[in-house]
Structure 1
Amino acid sequence: MSELAARRAIEALRAGVPSRDAVAALGSGQSAIEDRFQALCEGVAGGAASGLLLGGGFGAGKSHLLEHLARMALDGGWTVSRVVISKETPLYDPAKVFRAAADSALRAGQARPAVIEAAMALDLDGRAYAELLRWAASSGSELNERFPATLALFAHLRERDAAFAETILRFWSGDPIAVPELRRRLKEIGEQRPVLPPVAAAELARQRLRFAARLLTAAGSPGWLVLFDEVELIGRYSLLQRARSYAELARWMRGEHGNGVPIASVFAMTDDFEAEVIRSRNDQDLVPTKLRAKDTPEATALAAAAQVGMRIIDREMHLLTPPDDVELKQAYDRLRELHGRAFGWQPPDVAGLERLGATRMRQYVRAWINEWDLLRLDPGFRPETEMVDVPSDYREDPDLERTDPE
């Protein structure tokens, strides 16, 4: 590793950011989860969409592990997206989640979002395009007529009308498309009575997800991996939005995207979420009770889906394993080498933190780096590091559900 790459890795680890250089330097240390992830990808590539839920405390390495899994998938040709749950991207909003996934979707060696790359790479005279069009137009795809219509138009206009072809690409990526203009364009290619029924925004987002995944595979990707980070933020939503978030988590984890849609998902959240939110707030009883009291088919269905999501969090979370002595020694030796290369010196041994089972990898790493920083500036100093845990904050925050008028 070059001096610049070593400096980037050290600075990322100092800040707790799972950069590519930092992850490449340390690896994951989570072999059991890697094995489950590989099995997940193999199953999804074979047509069985599903997900994986990871749990760990703050600083346990969840984001670091997600980046490591992303590199594994990219090396295998997969399309990979990172979605960080936030005020701007709430888990309960399928349209915003899809947009975040589409905007961040990449394949190894590509610069633009992968949905656009896939569309531009399609052989419009080839078998993959013909199969994609046949699937999009079939009742089994459960897609609105906008999708086969825009796919057919794209084949006619990609070389002839770059501006409208770009409009179609933006529609596939999450933007609206003007129905009158779409009807006019369809009539120009011989579709005299195009039927384009309305579709709700949330349902359209789910259809975009299915269509984009099939588009990506038509362009040669084995599947689409969507990584969700900081999922514990849903604990700060109101009860109704928590219910919708639980339901969305269940939809992704159970692969409810349609038959043969190659989408894999990995969720990462704090390991105390079930105890601090689902049980402490009694969500397992309050959520279905309040929803079913509405006495509507939609609320009843949401209650059932939310219960599935809560059971998944309770029973299917795979916990990150704490680092053992062997892993800690390897990480220490690697970081010592990196720090020396980054700053052009020979770092001495440092004590760091006492090796306890509850201490997290990020805490060890930060302590080592900080102590080397201090000794590099003052070789006579004798640093001692103390560790203070900051508890997770799951208090409801109404501001998280307010978004900009955009």
Structure 2
Amino acid sequence: MNVAIAARRAIEALRNGVPNRFAVAELGSWQYQIEERFQELCKGASSGPAGMLIKGDFGTGKSHLLLTLQERARKNNFATSLVVVSKELPLGNPNRLIPRLLAQVELPDMVERGIQGMAARLQYSSPSFQKFQLWVNQWQFGSGWWPATLALYQRLGGDDEKLDAIVRFWAGEPTLKSSEVRRSLRDHGLAGAYPIGKLPPAESLHWQRLAFCAQLCRAIGFGGLVVLVDEIELIAQYSLLQRVKSYRVLGHLFGTTTLPEEIKKAPLVFVGAVTRDFERVILQEKGDWEKAPKIALQKHMSEEVVKAGMEAISQATPLRSCLEAREAIQSMWRRVADLYQKAYPDWVRPSPPQLPELYSTTTVRSIIRRWITEWDVRRYYSPDTEIVIVEDEAIKSTPTEELPELEEDEE
């Protein structure tokens, strides 16, 4: 891609306060301690899942940091999947969350997303595939479905329709029936070697799919799978019951002793982002610390897992504020100016400015937008144009109003 076009895409994203991959690649992050911890999590992924939650105010760079960690994961030879909690993606429902995660999986060297491209890269004679096949055959979960479908995928050859059905089953779609699988096994002389039972319950099956995908990443030469979840604070707008279900999922992802059995040995790294004030506004003032465990008991959910999810939010690692990172902001100015110069080569680059007075509420987003706005004005009009900056960016907080449209059928 043309350098100027890529730079303009990055500047446009920063101008609007929404980072993209181009901006992240140019600017990086100054959250060095979090990046170092993330590196350690990736190094230990081979021994099983690990995760961390980060927290910060609106505009302090949480989404930017997640994209930075995603880029770092790619450089560390990991597949990645980044999802944003939304009305269409309820955090508390693994039956919808995990298929979306699998659909968003990206490999460092592929543009396409999803398991289909990964499965197509399996090399049956490679040592990594042999190890993967051995793991699948010995896995205690799935009632025989995983070794059976993997063996069929290896044997079916040019039958694209059946191959596609198997891959879509791995990705979370109900594309296979036991009668069809047994028939295919018989047709290929595999019935005795790969007996299958009844499919596991839906939630267990989806956790198995996540573990299978992470091991599949290793089978094709990658370190594992990094899962990134943004805007977790949106669960504040869920009903209490849906928040409890969300805490349960967070407990499964970020708890140290509450991982689902299905994923305990999978090469997975989880990273999530939430607003800094979520604990105060929702867990304390709204009373979820006390209410959620009681609801969990009433609905036959694990009280321990729900508590682990809330504790993960409480113990989330805070982002460094602008007040703590003056030198890093000065360095950021030079990087943003370099990026702006690439986007607009004829621009007359000014000398570095004095930083504006920083407050605890000053956001990275507002500082970068201030620089770009000033440069835009001088580029359009005159380098000597007098500019008056009016600070009118409202500081947002975690939304507290429960929205009926985010309610979900309990079934």
TM-score, with normalisation over the residues of structure 2? 0.90
Structure 1 residue corresponding to 2:389, chosen from 384, 389, 397? 384
CA offset digits 1:131-171 (Å, max 9, x no partner):
32332233x442232221111100101x2312211111111
Deviations 1:276-297 (A, max 9, x none): 1011111111111233245xxx
Q: Which amino acid aligns with 2:45?
A: V
Aligned to 2:33: 32
Cα pair 1:367 1:385 within 8 Å, conserved: no
SS in 2 for 1:266: strand
Residues 46-89 of structure 1, C-alpha deviations (whole Å, 9 max, x = no match): x1311011001100001111111111110111001101111111
Residues 1:288 and 2:293 are matched in the alignment:
yes
In 2: Cα distance, 1:36 partner to 1:29 partner = 13
Q: Is the 8 A contact 2:242 2:408 kept in 1?
A: no
Q: Distance in 1 between matches of 2:112 and 2:335?
A: 34
Partners of 2:222 and 2:3 lie apart in 1 by 32
In 1, are the aligned partners of 2:230 and 2:274 still within 8 Å (CA)? yes
Q: Does the CA-based 8 Å contact 1:352-1:367 persist in structure 2? A: no
Alignment-derived partner of residue 283 in structure 2: 278
Match of 1:355?
358
For 1:164 and 1:347, locate their aligned partners in 2 and report how far apart those are by CA, in whole Å.
Answer: 59
Asked whether the equivalents of residues 371 and 383 of structure 1 are also in contact (C-alpha less than 8 Å), the reply is no
Greater shift in the superposed pair: 114-123 or 91-100: 114-123
1:167 maps to which residue? 165
CA distance in 2, matches of 1:74, 1:239: 37
Q: CA 1:35–1:185 in 2, change beyond 3 Å: closer, same or farther?
A: same
Q: Note if contact 2:7-2:22 (Cα within 8 Å) is conserved in structure 1.
A: yes
Deviates more, 1:184-193 or 1:84-93: 184-193
Q: Which amino acid aligns with 2:291?
A: L
Contact 2:78 2:107 in 1 (8 A): yes
Tell whether the 8 Å contact from 1:44 to 1:262 is kept in structure 2 after alignment. yes
**Would you say the 8 A contact 1:44–1:50 is kept in 2?**
yes
1:235 maps to which residue?
236
Residue 267 (structure 1) shift: 0.5
1:306-335 deviation line (CA, Å, top 9, x unaligned): 111111211x21011013221111112222
Work out the CA distance in 1 between the residues paired with 2:388 and 2:339. Answer: 20
Aligned pairs (5 A) from 1:248-397: 248-254=249-255, 255-256=259-260, 257-293=262-298, 298-299=300-301, 301=302, 303-314=303-314, 316-323=315-322, 324-343=325-344, 344-348=346-350, 353-379=356-382, 380-387=385-392, 388-397=394-403
Change (3 A) 1:25 1:123: closer
Distance 1:126 1:391, change over 3 A: closer
How does 1:14-29 map onto structure 2 within 5 Å?
A: 14-29=15-30
- Select between 352-361 and 272-281 the one with higher mean Cα deviation: 352-361
Question: What do the CA deviations read for 1:345-376 (whole angstroms, capped 9, x no partner)?
Answer: 11446677432233111110111111222232
Amino acid at match of 2:153: F
Identity %: 34
The residue type paired with residue 311 of structure 1 is E
In the alignment, the residues of structure 2 paired with residue 374 and residue 144 of structure 1 have an alpha-carbon distance, to the nearest angstrom, of 65
CA distance in 2, matches of 1:395, 1:348: 45
Question: What's the counterpart of residue 205 of structure 1?
Answer: 206
Which letter maps to 2:347?
W
Name the counterpart of 1:128: 128
Q: What is the alpha-carbon distance in structure 2 between the residues aligned to residue 3 and residue 112 of structure 1?
A: 25
Q: 3-state DSSP class of the match of 1:58?
A: coil
Taking only aligned residues, the RMSD between alpha carbons, in angstroms, comes to 2.1
Find the residue that maps to 2:229 and give its secondary structure.
Answer: strand
**Cα contact 2:142–2:199 (8 A) shared by 1:** no
Aligned residue identity for 2:121:
A
Equivalent position SS for 1:121:
coil
* 2:25/2:71 contact within 8 Å kept: no
**Quick one: which amino acid aligns to residue 345 of structure 1?**
W
Equivalent position to 1:178, from 176, 196, 199: 176
Number of equivalences: 394
Give 1:113 deviation, angstroms.
2.6
Whole-Å separation in 2 of the counterparts to 1:83 and 1:70: 11
Partners of 1:44 and 1:98 lie apart in 2 by 19
Range with greater deviation from structure 2 (97-106 or 385-394): 385-394
Decide whether the 8 Å contact of 2:49 with 2:268 is kept in 1: yes
How far does residue 211 in structure 1 lie from its aligned partner after superposition? 1.0
Tell me how far apart the structure 1 counterparts of residues 48 and 155 of structure 2 sit (CA, whole Å): 33
Q: Is it true that 1:398 corresponds to 2:404 in the alignment?
A: yes
Distance 2:270 2:252 in 1: 10
